[in-house]
Chain A
Amino acid sequence: MKNLLILGAGTSGTMMSNALRKALPQGQWNISIVDFEDTHYYQPGFLFLPFDLYTPKQLKRDIKDFIPKGVNLIQQKIDRIEKEKNMVLLQNGENIFYDILVIATGCNIAPEEIEGMQGPSWHKTIFDFYTFEGAKNLRDKLKHWEGGKLVVHISEMPIKCPVAPLEFAFLCDSFFADKKMRDKVEITYVTPMSGAFTKPVATKELSYLLEQKNIKIVPDFNIEKVDTDNNKIIDYGGQEVEYDLLVTVPTNMGDEMTLRSGFGDELNYVPTNKFTLQSKVKENIFVIGDATDLPASKAGSVAHFQSDTLTENIQLFIAGKPLKESFDGHSNCFIETGNGKALLIDFNYDQEPVKGTFPIPGIGPLRLLKESRINHLGKRAFKWIYWNILITGKPIPFVSSRMKIAGKEINTSE
Chain B
Amino acid sequence: MNEKTLAGFCIRCNDQGYLTDLAQWNKEVAVEIAKEEGIDMTNKHWEVIDYLQDQCRKEVAITIRKVGKSGIVNIKEFYQLFPKGPLKTASKIAGIPKPVSCI
Contact = CB atoms under 8 A, between A and B. Distances in A.
A binds B: yes
Interface of A: 156-158, 162-163, 192-194, 197-200, 202, 206, 219-220, 222, 224, 236-237, 251, 266-267, 274, 293, 295, 297, 331, 333, 335, 345, 347, 353, 414
A331 B66 CA distance: 25
B63 A157 contact: yes
B101 A222 contact: no
Interface string B36-80: 000000000000000000000001110111100100000110110
A interface SS class: loop
A193 B101 contact: yes
B103 to A, nearest CB: 4
A354 to B, nearest CB: 11
Contact of A157 (B76, B79, B99): B99
A345 B85 CA distance: 27
16 contacts: A158-B61, A162-B103, A163-B102, A192-B64, A193-B101, A194-B88, A198-B100, A202-B103, A220-B88, A236-B76, A236-B78, A237-B84, A295-B61, A331-B102, A347-B102, A414-B1
Contact of A345 (B15, B79, B86, B103): B103
Given A194-B88, A194-B98, A198-B98, A236 B65 contact: no
B100 A199 contact: yes
A347 B15 CA distance: 21
Nearest to B61: A295
A200 B15 contact: yes
Given A267-B65, A295-B59, A414-B1, A193 B79 contact: no
A224 B88 CA distance: 18
A57 B64 CA distance: 38
Category for how many chain B residues contact A: 20 to 34
Contacts of B17: none
Contacts, number: 72
Nearest to A267: B65
Given A220-B88, A293-B61, 16 more contacts: A156-B63, A162-B103, A193-B101, A194-B88, A194-B98, A198-B103, A200-B14, A202-B103, A222-B64, A236-B78, A237-B83, A237-B86, A251-B65, A266-B66, A347-B102, A414-B1
Given A220-B84, A222-B75, A414-B1, A163 B103 contact: yes
A28 B78 CA distance: 55
Interface string B4-32: 00000000001100000000000000000
A157 B99 CA distance: 10
B4 to A, nearest CB: 16
Nearest to B77: A236
B79 A199 contact: no
Interface of B: 1, 14-15, 59-61, 63-66, 69, 75-76, 78-79, 83-88, 98-103
Contacts of B85: 194, 219-220
A192 B100 CA distance: 10
A156 B66 CA distance: 11
Nearest to A269: B61
Given A156-B64, A222-B64, A222-B75, A162 B102 contact: yes
A302 to B, nearest CB: 10
Nearest to A274: B59
A112 to B, nearest CB: 14
Contacts of B102: 162-163, 199, 297, 331, 333, 345, 347, 353
Contact of B101 (A198, A224, A333, A414): A198
Contacts of B63: 156-158
A335 B101 CA distance: 14
Nearest to B78: A236
A193 B84 contact: no
B98 A206 contact: no
A173 B58 CA distance: 41
B64 to A, nearest CB: 5
Contacts of A414: 1
Contacts of A158: 61, 63
Nearest to A331: B102
Contacts of A206: 103
Contacts of B78: 236
Nearest to B14: A200
Nearest to A191: B101
Given A220-B84, A220-B88, A295-B59, A193 B99 contact: yes
Nearest to A224: B75
A236 B75 contact: yes
